[in-house]
Amino acid sequence: MAGLATVFGSGAMTNSIHDIGDSACILAIGTNTNEAHPVIGLEVLRSVRQKGGKLIVVNPREIGLVRFADIWLRLRPGTDVPLLMGMARVIVDEGLLDNTFINERCENFDAFKESLKNFDLATVAQITGVPADKIAEAARMYAT
């Protein structure tokens, strides 16, 4: 929430809770949603159980959502950013991008791509403790 407050001026969500239940893929990172936000947790489960949504859980702890997850990335604490950079690199390297969106709405994307060069899967796997193939699988699921 602190990041939201810094970027958007408010720590509140920028989407409706109901939208979560209609998501095709949910990435739950560093959260124990069912315990801390039970209403949101119900929407995540609605997406997965009723709508066929995919769920990727990124958490060192085996939280309740893990049993519903398509992929559980059990990373070392404090390694969220390298994991996300590794996933982004897979998405960029494999061309799983929405180029129209990038061209119309993103600035300095080339600089972002350059920042990914040190986050190859072998390095990210070593840092996070998550196998490289699982990182790539999660990136592909998230991007498609």
Q: Which pLDDT score is estimated for 15?
A: 73
DSSP label at residue 65: G
Q: How confident is the model at residue 9 (pLDDT cuts 50, 70, 90)?
A: low
Q: Are the C-beta atoms of residues 86 and 121 closer than 8 Å to each other?
A: yes
Per-residue pLDDT at 82 exceeds 70: yes
Task: Look up tokens 């997850």; give the residue.
Answer: 69
**What CA–CA distance (Å, rounded) separates 112 from 78?**
21
pLDDT tens-digit map of 18-71: 899 889 999 999 999 989 999 999 999 999 999 999 999 999 999 999 999 999
Instruction: Return the CATH superfamily for domain 16-73.
Output: Dimethylsulfoxide Reductase, domain 2 (3.40.228.10)
- Report the percent of the chain where pLDDT is more than 70: 90
pTM: 0.88
Helices (H), 2-129: 2-8, 17-21, 33-36, 38-50, 80-93, 99-105, 109-115, 121-128
Within the chain, which residue ranges are assigned CATH 3.40.228.10? Answer: 16-73
From residue 135, how far is each of 3, 105, 121 by CA, in Å? 24, 27, 8
